[in-house]
């Protein structure tokens, strides 16, 4: 499939597909980038990484490690764990904010 076909069929923004091509992760046929099933699988991972808060550079690093194979499993796991820990920290901070807002609301309602 071409870049436009992939974008339309899987609803992947062209910006992400161009990044993917820049990282040289997809095949080329007669000067035109061609996306096969393995590309679509990798793009699914990329979309998941973006959806979970990975930056462009973090996503690129993760994908390059992925392409190196199982020998990079621990590095990729560390990246995922670090992102998870950061997300939990954000959740806990937001929970504290909610507690403070609820306290102020309670005080206001109490008069």
CATH of the domain at 47: 1.10.1660.10
In sequence order, what are the beta bridge partners of 34? 27
More reliable by pLDDT, 22 or 91: 91
pLDDT at 27 over 70: no
Q: Which domain holds residue 97?
A: 3-110
46 burial type by CB count under 10 A (0-12 exposed, 13-18 middle, 19+ buried): buried
Q: Sorting pLDDT into bands at 50, 70 and 90, what band is 3?
A: confident
- The yes-or-no verdict on residue 109 having pLDDT over 60 is yes
Whether 26 and 39 have beta carbons less than 8 Å apart is answered as yes
Any idea which of 16-20, 39-43, 95-99 has the lowest mean pLDDT? 16-20
- pTM comes to 0.77
DSSP labels, 74-103: HHHHHHHHHHHHHHHHHHHHHHHHHHHHHH
| pLDDT of res. 23 | 81
Give me the chain's average pLDDT, please.
Answer: 90
Inform me whether the pLDDT recorded for 51 exceeds 60: yes
Write down the residue that tokens 């993760």 correspond to: 62
Of 22, 25, 65, the C-alpha closest to 43 is 25
The number of folded domains in the chain is 1
- Residues 16 and 22: their CA atoms lie apart, in Å, by 10
- The whole-number average pLDDT for the span 59-80 is 96
- Which CA distances in Å does 98 have to 53, 81, 91, 95, 107? 22, 25, 10, 5, 14
- At residue 31, does pLDDT exceed 80? no
């Amino acid at each position: 499939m071409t870049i436009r076909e992939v974008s339309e069929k899987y609803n992947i923004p062209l910006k992400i597909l161009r990044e993917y091509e820049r990282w040289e992760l997809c095949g080329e046929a007669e000067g035109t980038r061609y996306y096969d099933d393995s590309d679509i699988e990798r793009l699914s991972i990329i979309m998941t990484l973006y959806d979970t808060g990975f930056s462009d550079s973090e996503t690129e690093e993760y994908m390059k490690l992925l392409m190196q194979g199982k020998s990079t499993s621990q590095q990729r796991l560390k990246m995922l764990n670090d992102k998870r820990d950061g997300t939990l920290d954000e959740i806990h901070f937001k929970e504290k904010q909610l507690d403070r807002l609820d306290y102020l609301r309670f005080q206001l309602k109490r008069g």
